[in-house]
Amino acid sequence: MVMTHLPKINVSSAGAFWALVRRDVHLAWAQGGASTLTIGFFLIAVSLFPFGVGPEPQVLARIAPGVLWVIALLACVISLDRLYQADFEDGSLDDLVLSPVGFLGVVCAKVLAHWLSTTLPLAVLAPFLGVMMNLNADGFVVLIVSLLIGTPALSLIGSVGAALTVAVRRGGVLMSLIVLPLYVPTLIFGVGAVDAAVNLVDPLPHLALLGAVSLMAIVAGIWASVMALKLAME
Amino acid sequence: MNKAVLRYSDDTQIMAEALTCRRGGRTVFANMSFTLSAGSYLCLRGRNGAGKSTLLRLIAGLVPQSDGKFVVQAGGQALDIKSSLLMVGHLNGLKPALTLRDNAAMFQKVMTGQNLDQAVLQAAAKRFALAHLLDQPVQYFSSGQRHRSALMRFELVSRQIWLMDEPTVGLDSDNRQALAVMMQSHLERGGIIISATHDPIDVEGIELNLDDFAPKQIGQNSLESEWL
């Protein structure tokens, strides 16, 4: 029996894509993964504020939306430097780009896995920290919604910075310098939405603009990440 | 699926014509030509820095060529090289926190989308004397064991073109023999192997010395050397 074109048989791109997503989520939660550290940082950094600014409920309630969003940004940045670098350092990135999903699939899968494993838990935990920060009851739903809409942009924009600095040893600081300014629109509209809800104003325009930022990040972020990654792997 | 009866397509060809690669403003190699057909083994030789790894990465499509032609074709049609090759480099691509079995299963799943056949894994582990380590986390492995674990990939995922960068590093004579046997059986099934190595491997093949394609050093003026 002679079979030709053996390599093309039994290859499923969709299977490989979801396998890659599962692999990254699994590794993010495995020993030495980024997710537990990121979530730990988020919890601890937010709980420092009541100690720092004092326990007055009015003060905490006033700064709650801003603090939660800013710390979520910083927590996300902390997790980013392992997004591509861990695989780059141990050589598995070379293997991944030879998989059926290619560069584009690798970037999409890794960003999706990063969002699921690292930034989505921040959105889930934020309401609990909101209680500690005495966030106004009207703000909770919008806080969760704004984080759900805005966090994909954090992963996507962050992926560009992570891909640009993948070959730079200790490039974490450089990456935050690239990424944090790009997070400003997300931050403005995210906090704006929660503030609007707290002040009983319609938060919808803010959420719509936040969604627009995320949609633009999907288009530009994935493309830019692929380009940066190709450049870094030469 | 019985692997033994499978054969790769016989009309696959790799052709390089006047291939030139420049990196960081320096010409690594110039004017290199070779042709490989199914079942052939190309052994890259050359001093350190002659561009052996660079050539392997160029073939894999990770480094762009500066000049010349590089084609992989099967039956006159251009073949997507990325989906028909497997590469092992200096880095082993293993996740230290996971066991060898999980590493292998993940590799298989990501490269093909299919689940790993445990019998295939057992056979691969046995070849490189790793069967007793399958459920150990890779972080406790020695560098030789890690390298053997990385070589197992060629048994797990079946692809026609193998690129090996220093496949014998850290291998003892038994494992070197096992590697040669694995390479030989791949060639017999119509596979193509390109390896860069300093150690002799017990496999018949074509030798390509990259020192022959080093850019000619005529003074320091690069313009002048391009003219000549």
Which residue type occupies A9?
A: I
Residues in chain B within 8 Å Cβ distance of A94: 60, 62, 87, 89, 91, 93
Which residues, at least 6 apart from B184, have a Cβ–Cβ distance to it below 8 Å?
A: B203
- Percent of residues, chain B, with pLDDT higher than 70: 92
Contact B93 A5 (CB under 8 A): no
Main-chain phi, psi angles of B79, to 5 degrees = -110, 140
Q: Is the pLDDT of residue B219 over 50?
A: no
Please state the ipTM of this predicted complex. Answer: 0.81
The number of CA neighbours under 13 Å toward the Cβ of A222 is: 17
Q: Which residues of A touch B (CB under 8 A)?
A: 1-8, 10-17, 19-20, 23, 27, 30-33, 89-92, 94-100, 102, 233-234
pTM of the model: 0.87
* B110–A20 CB contact, under 8 Å: yes
Q: What is the pLDDT of residue A5?
A: 45
What's the rounded Cα separation, in Å, for the pair B85 and B74? 14
What is the band of B227 on the pLDDT scale with cuts at 50, 70, 90? low
Q: What is the pLDDT of residues B172-197, one digit of tens each?
A: 888 888 888 888 888 888 888 998 88
Q: Which of B63, B113, B158 sits opposite A16 (nearest CB)?
A: B113
pLDDT tens, per residue, chain A with 234 residues: 344 444 445 677 888 889 899 989 988 888 777 888 899 999 999 999 999 988 888 899 889 999 999 999 999 999 988 889 888 888 888 888 888 888 899 999 999 999 999 999 999 999 999 998 888 888 899 999 999 999 999 999 999 999 999 888 888 889 999 999 999 999 999 999 999 998 888 999 999 999 999 999 999 999 999 999 988 887
Question: Which two tokens mark B122?
Answer: 């057992």
| pLDDT value of residue B2 | 44
Of B63, B110, B114, the CB nearest to A23: B110
Residue B3 pLDDT > 50, yes or no? Answer: no
Ordered by start, the domain boundaries in chain A are: 13-233
- Best probe of the A interface among B102, B110, B114, B158, by most A CBs < 10 A, is B110
Max Cα-Cα span within chain A: 80
Residue A18 and residue A101: Cα distance in Å, rounded? Answer: 10
B111 → closest Cβ in A6, A32, A99: A99
Structure-block tokens of residue B47: 């001093």
State pLDDT tens for residues B113-148: 888 888 888 888 888 888 888 888 888 988 888 888
- With contacts defined as CB-CB under 8 Å, which chain A residues touch B62? 94, 97, 233-234
